[in-house]
Amino acid sequence: MASRRQIREAVVQLLYCADLEGRAESAALREPFWDFVTEADRRSLHLATFRTVHHLAHGRDGRLQEFHERLPNALAHLAAWPQAANLKLELERMTELEAAWSVALVKLERLPRDDDDAAVAGSFSAGLDAFFRVDRDLAATRQRFFEGMEDFPALRGQMEAVAASVRRLQRVSDRLRMVEDPEKFPEQADLAKLREAKTSLRKLRQQSDELADAVLAHKEALDATLAAVVDNYVPERIDPVDRAVLRLGAYELLHTTTPRKVAINEAIELARRFGTTDSHRFINGVLDRIATPP
């Protein structure tokens, strides 16, 4: 799960960027911001997802070979049934998608893993999206094939061999659905790390956005409070990083149940992390005056 420190560090960076842009509510700001802030975590998640996909694909080659061996006989039987033309089309479409599945996996396997974080995260994100999209289309085609078979009970015996191969291939796709959305399968212990990583990224963004939005909603009042304790306070004259830390710290002191010492100490650490050499002393003095008014 996202830690309090991670959330507050993200909020300071978001407030800083929003203040520079002057339009914090814009999705055009939020999306690239979160892509940048989470690129290392996304890289780790994508690589872990790929490794799981690669592991699941190991048993597919034999199942696919069996499917192709049984396919000509099934198509020949369907060709003799003009009324089952849609079934034949679905089986042919399935064959095309099986080939596209293999191509998509090969493209994933050939992606470099040692580039910088942004390049790896971006390339694996696109590659995994394309791979899972093909797999979903393939699963839907298999489903339509089996539903169509219900209308032709006389063909079931002749189609059973190829249908058995299709079912075996679908079991791989069933596992891939779990890999794609591990949060939906909490009972799968082997997907715990993927589930935790995806949940952590989602929670980090959700909680950071909520806290940043709360600070921004009170920005004018917070600046008025800061002006009351800082001589000649003008927001534009304060370093933008210090300004972000001050607003967050003042918000927590005035509008949350965060203990005074905790709020101030965490603000000092944020100033040390992101500010200038003297930022932490300045932040400490200002927030201490807000926390202990005369």
202 shares its domain with 266: yes
Statement to judge: residues 172 and 67 lie in one domain: yes
Give the torsion sign (CA, 192, 196, 197, 199).
positive
Alpha carbon distance, N-terminus to C-terminus of the chain: 40
Q: What pLDDT, on a 0 to 100 scale, did the predictor assign at position 134?
A: 98
8 and 108 both lie in a single domain: no
177-218 per-position pLDDT tens digit: 999 999 999 999 999 999 999 989 999 999 999 999 999 999
The CA-atom distances, in angstroms, between 86 and each of 13, 55, 81 are 56, 34, 10
**pLDDT confidence of 174, banded at 50, 70, 90?**
very high
**Chosen domain end from 180, 212, 229:** 180
Question: pLDDT, tens digit, for every residue of 147-172?
Answer: 999 999 999 999 999 999 999 999 99
Q: What angle do CA 135, 157, 149 make, to 5 degrees?
A: 45
CA quadruple 252, 253, 256, 260: dihedral positive or negative? positive
- What is the C-alpha radius of gyration for the chain, rounded to an integer number of angstroms? 28
Same domain, 116 and 172: yes
Q: Are residues 234 and 143 in the same domain?
A: no
Q: What count of other Cβ atoms lies within 10 Å of the Cβ of residue 58?
A: 9
Q: Enter the pTM of the model.
A: 0.75
Q: 33 and 51 in one domain?
A: no
Confidence band for 1, pLDDT divided at 50, 70 and 90: low
Residue 187 lies in a domain: no
Nearest to 251 by CA among 216, 279, 288, 282: 216
